[in-house]
Structure 1
């Protein structure tokens, strides 16, 4: 399967059916076409043919990809051009390690770490062994509007944490698990949650000084763990965590989403995943996800589709 577009909207590039002698040349051509012009270089002498696979899906303004490949080095030089007008990458290390070099500074990513990289800046990524990464590509304007000033984001490493741990299943599920019927709504939910998580992870300055990031993470995890309870509300979560409702809402403010929005997104995502995995009815999935009735589910869907959350 050198190049395949599935019915679910996932596009796959793989070296599995490419002649061994042509595998890396094919990989070099395809990743440059899929992402941005890059300069890949094979590392070391290998007894086995080069192996690589990219699964990617476009979700609104974002492109989410899952990359699995053999050792290599990839250089991005802005002078090589770009088929899109400026992009940001969020690379999340799933397996293996990678070294990111910017100017003379090198940063090592281990499983669970993530890094933000700008396509208009020079960087090098070195993968010394077989690896897997999740990659989110976002346009410049989206990063500016959702994450704020981006002048200090290039090369920013987000160490492994509950925040990055939450990011991984969203990207992997968006690429691998959702069928054509569930992909669009579930993926839009994923993008909304990913943006909220990234906003929290990169927040600093006055925001970081006034907000307990650990508390924010605990709140997100609490919502994720208990969203199937139809009676769950901000009062119950605040009481369980021993904080006031005012503190709860202030702790979620850096994500750019309210408690109710996070709760609805968690339930909508569960409906989409449940239907994709089991083929059950909307009614069954909605009840299992914490919606009181189907009407509540459809109201939440309409708000999501319209971008209106009040």
Structure 2
């Protein structure tokens, strides 16, 4: 079962004179390294509830006016490569990245990539849900510089936003059910990212749908060491020839896909559970042995699991 931890922070927990400095530290710890400046109001209040579910971060925040900027200097300092899905719940926000500007109103969602500088401006008080996803979990979707692209509140992106908001609420009282739904959330984010990058949601090709089924099936059966082409094709209801053809469009074979996703899972486990033996990690990721985990991990990441864990 996937663990889910929830933490609450509030500026009310410290003296008023320290409230904004405390808030700025919480924002950096929750998301990525950024510079935060307060709005013109004399007082400042902010609260945030964070949770992490199988490596995916959720942060629901309600706070006052402020400006947030991620600069090249800050990127060079932490180099964290994540995608942030910003869902506006109340108030307005202006997001700018790579020359693209998005204005968020309640119900809208916009994406921002931590590897590029960006700026957020909140002129008034607001509420947001921000979902933080490592880019390794969405490897085949890229905004190609077209970041700060919003999905408006009246389009299909609203369905994705509502699902993520509901999933965040579900974690509070049913973390097991939330964990079961998490793969669907990742798939929806993957699709929404394609929409934001310019793909038309109503013109999704049969090949793209087959590819999504293959990726989804592989993720769900990743721990099975017997997972192979025959099992994936049968599970997705397609021929092996069709499966190979749609995967070839991404330039990645089925073997490479399985290997990469297993290593990604192993990366999360060795960091989240440093005390866990590598033999146990290997079993939980679908590797046939600890030696196979070691060889594959090194081939994909360029380092051994032990070195990766220490870094």
Q: TM-score range by the shorter chain?
A: 0.5 to 0.7
Q: State how far apart, in whole Å, the 2-side matches of 1:172 and 1:303 are.
A: 26
Query: Any unmatched runs of 5+ in structure 1?
Result: 1-6, 217-248, 265-300
User: Could you say which residue in structure 1 is the equivalent of 2:296?
Assistant: none
Q: Please tell me whether residue 164 in structure 1 is matched to residue 157 in structure 2.
A: yes
Residue among 151, 154, 163 paired with 2:144:
151
User: Could you say which residue in structure 2 is the equivalent of 1:25?
Assistant: 21
Query: Any unmatched runs of 5+ in structure 2?
Result: 237-311
Q: State how far apart, in whole Å, the 2-side matches of 1:154 and 1:197 are.
A: 13
Q: State how far apart, in whole Å, the 2-side matches of 1:202 and 1:31 are.
A: 27
Measured after TM superposition, the shift of residue 106 of structure 1 is 4.1
Measured after TM superposition, the shift of residue 95 of structure 1 is 1.2
CA deviations 1:194-223 (Å, max 9, x no partner) are: 33343345343xxx3xx635xx7xxxxxxx
Q: State how far apart, in whole Å, the 2-side matches of 1:250 and 1:45 are.
A: 53
What aligned pairs does 1:131-146 form with structure 2 within 5 A after superposition? Answer: 131-145=126-140
Q: State how far apart, in whole Å, the 2-side matches of 1:198 and 1:104 are.
A: 18
CA deviations 1:168-187 (Å, max 9, x no partner) are: 33322333332333332233
User: Could you say which residue in structure 2 is the equivalent of 1:180?
Assistant: 175
Measured after TM superposition, the shift of residue 144 of structure 1 is 3.1
The alignment covers a number of residue pairs equal to 221
Distance change >3 Å, CA 101–CA 181, structure 1 → 2: closer
TM-score, normalised via structure 1 length:
0.60
User: Could you say which residue in structure 1 is the equivalent of 2:12?
Assistant: 16
Distance change >3 Å, CA 203–CA 53, structure 1 → 2: same
What aligned pairs does 1:82-97 form with structure 2 within 5 A after superposition? Answer: 83=78, 85-97=80-92
TM-score, normalised via structure 2 length:
0.60
What aligned pairs does 1:183-222 form with structure 2 within 5 A after superposition? Answer: 183-204=178-199, 208=200, 212=202
Distance change >3 Å, CA 83–CA 152, structure 1 → 2: closer
Q: Please tell me whether residue 60 in structure 1 is matched to residue 62 in structure 2.
A: no
Measured after TM superposition, the shift of residue 66 of structure 1 is 1.6
CA deviations 1:146-177 (Å, max 9, x no partner) are: x2x44233222222234222223332233333
Residue among 209, 218, 228 paired with 1:253:
209
Measured after TM superposition, the shift of residue 61 of structure 1 is 4.1
